[in-house]
Amino acid sequence: EIRIGASVSATGPAAFLGDPEAKTLEMLVEQINENGGINGEEIALTLYDDGGDPNKARTFATRLIEDDEVVAIIGGSTTGTSMSILSVSEDNEIPFISLAGAIEIIDPVKPFTFKTPHTDRMACQKIFEDMQKRQITTIGMISGTDGFGASMQAQCKDVVGEYGITVAADETYNPTDADMTTQLTKIRNTEGVQAVLNPGFGQGPSIVTRNYRQLAIDLPLYQSHGVASDGFIELAGAEAAEGVRLPGTALLIADQLGADDPQKPVVDAYKTAFEEKTGTSVGTFGGYAHDAFLILTDAITRAGSAEPQAIRDAIESTSGLAGTTGIYNMSAEDHLGLDLSAFRMLEIKGGEWTVVE
Amino acid sequence: MLTVEGLRSRYGRIEVLHGIDLHVDSGEIVTVVGANGAGKTTLLKCLSGTQPVSGGTITFRGEGLTGLPAHRRPARGLTQSPEGRQIFTNLTVEENLRLGAYLFTDDRVEKDMEDAFAMFPILREKRNLAAGGLSGGQQQMLAMARALMGRPSCLLLDEPSMGLAPIIVQQIFDVVSGLKALGVTVLLVEQNAFGALKIADRGYVMETGRITMSGAAADLIADPRIREAYLGI
Amino acid sequence: MTALLSVEGLGISFGGLKAVNDVSFTVQPREITSVIGPNGAGKTTLFNMISGVYQPGSGRVVLGGEDVTGMAPHLLARRGMSRTFQNLQIFQSMTVLENAIAGYHLQERGPVLADLFNLPSSRRRAAAAQAGARELLARVGLDRAAEREAGNLSYGALKRLEIARALALSPKILLLDEPAAGCNAVETEEIDHLIAEVAKSGVAILLVEHDMKMVMRISNHIVVLDHGEKIAEGDPASVSRNPAVIAAYLGTDAGTEAAHADG
Amino acid sequence: MAELLQFLFSGVTVGAVYALVALGFTIIYNASDVVNFAQGEFVMLGGMLTFVCHAAGLPLPLAALIAIVVTSAIGVAMNKLAIEPARGAPVVSLIIITIGASIFIRGGAQLLFGKQIHSFPAFSGDTPLRIGGATILPQSLWVIGGAVVVFVGLWLFFTRTLTGRAVLATSNNRLAAQLVGINTGFVMTLSFALSAGIGALAGVLATPITLTSYDVGLAFALKGFAAAMLGGMGNPKGALAGGFLLGLIEALTAGYLSSQYKDAAAFVVILLVLFFMPQGLFGAKSTERV
Amino acid sequence: MKISAKSATLLVLVVLVALSPMLFPSGYYYRVGALIFVNAIAVTGIVILTGYAGQISLGHAGFAGIGAYACALAPVHLGLHPALALVLGAAISAVLAFLVGRPILRLKGYYLGVATLGFGILVSMVLNNERQLTGGPDGMEVPELGLRGLLRDAGIDLTNGQFWYFLCGIILILAAWLALNLFNSPTGRALRALHGSEVAARTVGVDVARLKLQAFVISAVYASVSGSLLALQNKFITPDVAGFMHSIEMVTMAVLGGVGSVLGAIFGAAVLTLLPQVLTVFAEYEQLVLGLVMMLVMIFLPQGLLPSILRKVRGKDE
Ligand SMILES: Nc1ncnc2c1ncn2[C@@H]1O[C@H](COP(=O)(O)OP(=O)(O)OP(=O)(O)O)[C@@H](O)[C@H]1O
Ligand SMILES: Nc1ncnc2c1ncn2[C@@H]1O[C@H](COP(=O)(O)OP(=O)(O)OP(=O)(O)O)[C@@H](O)[C@H]1O
Ligand SMILES: [Mg+2]
Ligand SMILES: [Mg+2]
């Protein structure tokens, strides 16, 4: 038996991330055990819900390592919880794969810490690349004040200059706000704004999108990968969401992937299984957990051992591994292993995701 | 009309009524006198149902009251004017009186209210003011008036004369005597034992949770022990 | 003779009602000055203004030569004023003893840090207060109830506890609002003696009470209020014979009773 | 001008939601002096149950009705099972019970309904109304109308009916209430039913705008509580005014100062108001003589 | 010899802190123990404010936030040793409590509740929004306290978990000792008196405004120290520490355990800290059970766990 631990935010303000992650991990463990486990050993998953509270996450990390004696940890749905877990896992030399966005988690590189999601920065870069192509030079931003939104807002403002774009209006909303017409009106009335970018997750972006339509703003609207799932279209309404662009992963366009796409098999398999099991549509975040688990099991298989040190070494040598998010190539300098190509710029047309090219 | 047998009651583990026996006949005024802490208030609270009974029985008009919640007793005709007045401080004087007649919706409510105002004219003056702003004595009058609004057939009065000016004390005792004429039965707890015994038919003396003496009011007034211990004469 | 307390033209209104209007009188040390009057005459309100619970609308309160009009109660307490309440104000969840000790606050208070660290100075202050409090409880007959939770006492007992707490301040002037309410004739007499004794020890006493026997027996001086105004003032004998007072307040019965006690 | 108008529209829309939640607080508070921190969960249940029933194929009005009735029943159950057995407990203990109830209801909703965010169609479509260059959604008018209607109803209830006064009497002095024959148990049951019903109504009206999920209750409770305190707890007038005021402050701050600190501005205003009016705008000063 | 409630409480605490480790099967239990102690320190402050003085605060996490971020920021920006940063945080909290307390402590009941709530929210909003300084919602790292190394040099080699367990345990005992001293001291009595009746307290000479402020400041320092210890222990801190939920948690712990008594409140902190750890076995049902437990305790033990249990044991049931 190989003991693996996980601490995700299955409830609380980040449940939007943690819930699909928890479900994904449980499902994958079940699948792998049905197929005889890894190297003939079953996997025992201990999964805790840290509710998005970094303090709890640290306690659970301690518990996983000291009490449950796991050989590796997946989790940390948010940056805060990930940072809390990693300081424990590094101390105890247990490999940890984070599911959170911030670049600080793996930069500077820490020996036992890895992560699967692209960084916020990459999402920003992808979006700005697209804007550049459309000759957009002045934008307005409206960001959620939750960790996800705030972090991406900062990263975007950090790299925006590299694309010759200026942020002329910079507004925020709280994750529980009910109406964003005020902020959007301000952005609309700002001189020269050619497009609007909305980093955020949860219901905020849906409301922004609806208010956008209510105010009949006819500038391009960009959302973040935080809302990359079918649920977003449903909530915002296909009509309001028409034309919205965002950087997404292969998961959302599984049926549009070419037969030769290396990600196709893994994306298809995950999507079918998840949607069948939970009755809800797949999203980016569940995909992160899927990839973390994939990287971990792949590493254990290759290492032929369930020793933490061996697993760590094997993870670091992951190469060409196709996940739902992208193709992972880890190295001693890069504990993420994704590049920009993992993101695809998507646009909602007629209530469906389409690839912009 | 009201019969109490072997009544016991306790606060927590401390028993303060150790088996009280008393009865009040229809149309009678009966008074209970006793020192501070004797248990008079506790007795009345047991009767009105706001204090749990741990033993004995209370029979009112031939029916046991045990287990009947406090709020259903006024409907049976048993009404209390409690110690410490317990008025609705945030409501107006008039609202207090109307709530006194909470169980009735007929026209008599208005008439009763007029009667109450006639009895205590100051209440009419203050009818639209919050009762909490009344002076102590005015509140006491309100408590009495509110109890009368409930059209009791048996009225439990806990120190109705407390804090009242002598002239009003007189009036209160007159009112209580007048109730007798209307056929209302009264159980009166008073520190003004002299005044109470003067208008009462019978009296009980209570000491540390027990009835130690009882008899016709006139006899009690004359009893030297009572005169010394309670009347201070 | 200089008065300890003098009230000069004091007045206050509540939404148009002149609850107290232009009332003046003085209170001497060692004397018991009673304020009587019908219900709602403004006696308690007068107390509330003198003791700083209400801000007077007009007039002055002078205590020991100092103008203390509208001064906060805790500052008045430091200047030797203490009072009881008509509507009991007991520290319900504290023990009877602790209630009495609270009366010693001014003597026992000290730097909060000393209290936090339980320094000897803090312990000394507390111990002194406790000894005093026990004595006082004995004086009002509550020593046996010292360790009980105050909220569990009967009404009459609470009245006496309030008096004990007020005495704990070793006041120069003591305001008593109906101290005998809820006590029978015999108990009233005990309170009587207590008050007289306190007055004799040099304290000025201002008393509100409806028990005319008591008032007439122990007062040196009586002020009569009606509808917020002073309608009479004088010694017990003259006041109890005053027809205006009898009409407004005493009624015939009590009037004779009072005169009887007086005679 | 159009800009200001748009901010105002945004303010009253959000304010009406706050007002509805705040109005829900008043009844239970008036009956028991307890601020029911589970009030937000009633709002959540209103939205969630309507969604579930609607998704199951029921017409929207029927779904909403069911949601309100079921939520009222849950309110009554909460009173019977959790509040009434604790009668006589200190108010803080009762508050902790309501917090416990709110966690419990949230936990239950999470199990039953999952963690997805949901919504249902607006009652009168999504086509915005244009007024003076600004736009407002028809659903906003529903919410505003709902707040006003509930306010008028409550106001009449408390000032014109004997039952309304019995509710006030119960919180003012429970013992005395029993002595005049008020069934205080029933008053509490009624209060919880009404409060929960109003909460659910808020959820039904607001969800097409705010969306709903199992955990929206807390935010509603917090804002509703703040609004009710700003206006003066217990007074329907205060709840209405407090709600709208809070919404407007937020919108205008976001519009003219900083969207980041709009909630901060709201609380600064509350602190300022309380500094000068310690009972809120319309709160009754309790008259307790000494 | 009759042993006073104070000595009994302290004795129980010392024994528990010292002997519990003998039952610990793994290092994880030290972590939970340390967390209990950290929470208990804040909750002891609530006992002083709410239990003694009867004032509600729904924003005390704000002070915990100040304590926590002082330890994160002061070493970096001011070059202070983290232990001194803790002291600095406590001082800032005290000053802030003094300034804020003045105007808002005039308010009563829920109005004080909403005002303190506002204060807490303002603090957490600043921590969330001033990203350059605080790292925003993602939080920031906190420097190592460094004391453990010193101890090791002195020959006492503790694991990280053990170190924090004993450090927080000792500070808790100290905090409890102070609070217990206060209870029966003149100041404590005055606080409890104003809780009972403000007017009466005033007329016996209690400067009510000043005493409330003292209680508020002291409890703020408790919360601040608790926040600092949490930050130093976790070596990473997010604005959650100052959040509304944390404030509510403090009050809940105190009331659940028995807000009138120090030991009760500490017991409450222990129960509510342990509960989520135990409830992990219920997975999905965790919230449901947590809410249920809270309700049941308050229904059946309305005075709080410990006081109600003690009452039952002594037979003074009510
Ligand atoms: N709530 C309570 N908890 C505990 N003990 C109580 C409580 N109320 C009263 N007692 C005790 O019960 C006894 C009887 O009190 P009760 O109030 O019935 O006396 P009483 O005869 O009405 O006295 P008084 O004339 O002073 O009003 C007293 O010893 C009192 O201390
Ligand atoms: N806070 C207040 N609000 C409104 N009216 C008040 C207030 N305080 C006092 N009053 C009014 O002022 C008048 C005087 O009241 P006060 O309590 O001083 O009377 P009192 O002489 O003490 O009467 P009692 O003998 O009945 O105690 C009363 O009519 C009362 O209603
Ligand atoms: Mg009595
Ligand atoms: Mg008076």
Interface partners of B (3+ CB pairs, < 8 Å)? C, D, E
Domains contained in chain C, number:
2
What integer best gives the mean pLDDT of chain E?
Answer: 92
What does each of the 233 residues of chain B score in pLDDT, given as a tens digit? 899 999 999 998 889 999 999 999 999 999 999 988 899 999 999 999 999 999 999 999 989 988 899 999 999 999 999 988 899 999 999 999 999 999 998 889 999 999 999 989 999 999 999 999 999 999 999 999 999 999 999 999 999 988 899 888 888 898 899 888 888 999 999 988 888 999 999 999 999 999 999 999 999 999 998 888 888 77
The CATH number given to whatever domain includes residue E94 is 1.10.3470
What is the distance in angstroms between the Cα of C263 and the nearest Cα belonging to chain D? Answer: 35
Q: Which atom of ligand 1 is nearest to the CA of B38?
A: 21
Lowest model confidence (mean pLDDT) among B149-158, D96-105, E303-312 = E303-312
- Whether residue B232 lies within 8 A of chain E, CB to CB, comes out as no
Q: Which residue on chain B is closest to D160 by alpha carbon?
A: B95
CATH of the domain at C258: 3.40.50.300
Averaged pLDDT, A325-348 = 90
Ligand having the closest approach to the CA of B32: 1
E177 or C180, which is more confident: E177
Measured distance CA(A68)–CA(C160) in Å, rounded: 65
Q: What's the CA gap between C119 and D166, in Å, rounded?
A: 53
Residue D156 has pLDDT above 60, yes or no: yes
Could you tell me if C128 and C232 lie in one domain?
no
**Mean pLDDT for chain D overall:** 92
In a domain, C85, yes or no: no
The terminus-to-terminus CA distance of chain E in angstroms comes to: 29
Q: How far apart (Å, rounded) are the C-alpha atoms in residues D175 and D192?
A: 20
Looking at all shown ligands, the one closest to residue C20's CA atom is 2
pLDDT score for E315:
60
pLDDT tier at E237 (50, 70, 90 boundaries)? very high
What is the distance in angstroms between the Cα of E199 and the nearest Cα belonging to chain D?
Answer: 8
**Does residue C254 have a pLDDT over 70?**
no
Q: Which atom of ligand 1 is nearest to the CA of C159?
A: 26
Q: What is the pLDDT of residues E166-219, one digit of tens each?
A: 999 999 999 999 999 999 999 999 999 999 999 999 999 999 999 999 999 999
What does the pLDDT look like over C66-101, one tens digit per residue? 999 989 999 999 999 999 998 889 999 899 999 999
Is residue C262 very low, low, confident or very high in pLDDT (cuts 50, 70, 90)?
very low
Token digits for A202?
């949860």
Q: Give every CB contact of residue E80 below 8 A, 6+ residues apart in sequence.
A: E74, E88
Same domain, C260 and C191: yes
Instruction: Band the pLDDT of C24: cuts 50, 70, 90.
Output: very high
DSSP bridge partners of C175: C83, C206
Residue of minimum CA distance from atom 25 in ligand 1: B36
Please check the confidence at residue A198 and state whether its pLDDT lies above 90.
yes
Q: Domain limits at E108? A: 5-19+27-317
Q: Which chains touch C (3 or more CB pairs under 8 A)?
A: B, D, E
Walk across the sheet containing C17-27 and list its strands.
Answer: C17-27, C5-14, C58-63, C66-67
Confidence of residue D133 (pLDDT cuts 50, 70, 90): confident
Task: Find where tokens 């410990």 sit.
Answer: E306
Count of Cβ atoms closer than 10 Å to residue B12 Cβ: 12
**CATH of the domain spanning D11-126+136-288:** 1.10.3470
φ, ψ of residue B140 in degrees (nearest 5): -60, -40
| Domain assignment of residue C86, yes or no | no
For residues C148 and C255, state if they share a domain: no
As a whole number, mean pLDDT of residues A157-179 equals 93
pLDDT tens, position by position, E113-152: 999 999 999 999 999 999 889 988 989 999 988 888 888 8
Q: Which of B25-29, C186-190, C235-239 has the lowest mean pLDDT?
A: C186-190
Domain co-membership, C217 together with C249: yes
Q: Does D280 touch chain E (CB under 8 A)?
A: yes
Give the pLDDT confidence of C101-111 residue by residue, as tens digits.
Answer: 999 999 999 99
Domain boundaries, chain D: 11-126+136-288
For residues A61-85, average pLDDT: 94
Number of H helices, E strands in chain A: 12, 14
| Phi, psi for B13 (deg, rounded to 5) | -95, -10
The question of ipTM being above 0.90 is answered as yes
* Contacts of A187-190 spanning 24+ positions with Cβ under 8 A: A187/A140, A187/A142, A188/A140, A188/A215, A188/A217, A188/A219, A189/D3, A190/A140
In whole numbers, what is the pLDDT of chain C averaged over residues? 90
Q: Is residue C212 part of a domain?
A: yes
In percent, the amount of chain A with pLDDT more than 90 equals 74
* C68 and C131 inside one domain: no
* Strands of the sheet with B14-24, listed across from one edge: B14-24, B2-11, B55-60, B63-64
Q: What percent of chain E is predicted at pLDDT more than 90?
A: 74
Using the beta-carbon criterion (under 8 Å), do D110 and E56 form an inter-chain contact?
Answer: no
Q: Are residues C228 and C245 in the same domain?
A: yes
SS3 A67: helix
User: Is the model's pLDDT at A116 over the cut of 50?
Assistant: yes
Q: Which of A282-286, C17-21, E68-72 has the highest mean pLDDT?
A: E68-72
| Residue C33 shares a structural domain with residue C12 | yes
Cα A271 off chain centre by: 16
Q: What b/e readout covers A150-176, taking b as 16+ CB neighbours within 10 angstroms?
A: bbbbbbbeebbeebebebbbbbbbbbb
Q: φ, ψ for residue A180 (rounded to 5)?
A: -120, 20
Which residues on adjacent β-strands are paired with residue B79?
B155
DSSP E260-314: T-HHHHHHHHHHHHHHHHHHGGGGGGHHHHHHHHHHHHHHH-TT-HHHHHHHHHH
- Give the dihedral sign, CA D30/D36/D42/D43: positive
Q: Domain span at residue C187? A: 1-80+172-263
Is residue C67 located within the same domain as residue C182?
yes
User: In three state form, how does the secondary structure of B27-67 look?
Assistant: CCEEEEEECCCCCHHHHHHHHHCCCCCCEEEEEECCEECCC
- Please tell me which of the candidates A11, A59, A83 has its beta carbon nearest to residue E236: A83
Report the number of distinct structural domains present in chain E: 1
Please report the pLDDT score of residue E1 as a whole number.
45
Let me know whether C218 and C249 are in one domain. Answer: yes
- Decide if B41 contacts C155 (C-beta within 8 A): yes
Same domain, C48 and C152: no
Instruction: Judge contact between A251 and A267, C-beta under 8 A.
Output: yes
Q: What are phi and psi of E259, to 5 degrees?
A: -70, -15
**Alpha-carbon torsion (E183, E184, E187, E188), positive or negative:** positive
Quick check: pTM over 0.90?
Answer: yes
Interface test with A, best of D20, D117, D257 (most A CBs within 10 A): D117
pLDDT at residue C1, as a whole number = 52
Q: Determine contact, residues E93/E59, Cβ cutoff 8 Å.
A: no
Which pLDDT score, from 0 to 100, does residue C43 have? 95
- Assess whether C99 and C165 both reside in one domain: yes
Distance in Å, alpha carbon of C44 to nearest chain D alpha carbon:
8
Helix (H) or strand (E) holding C206: strand C204-208
Distance CA B143, CA B120 (A): 11
How high is the pLDDT of residue A101?
Answer: 86
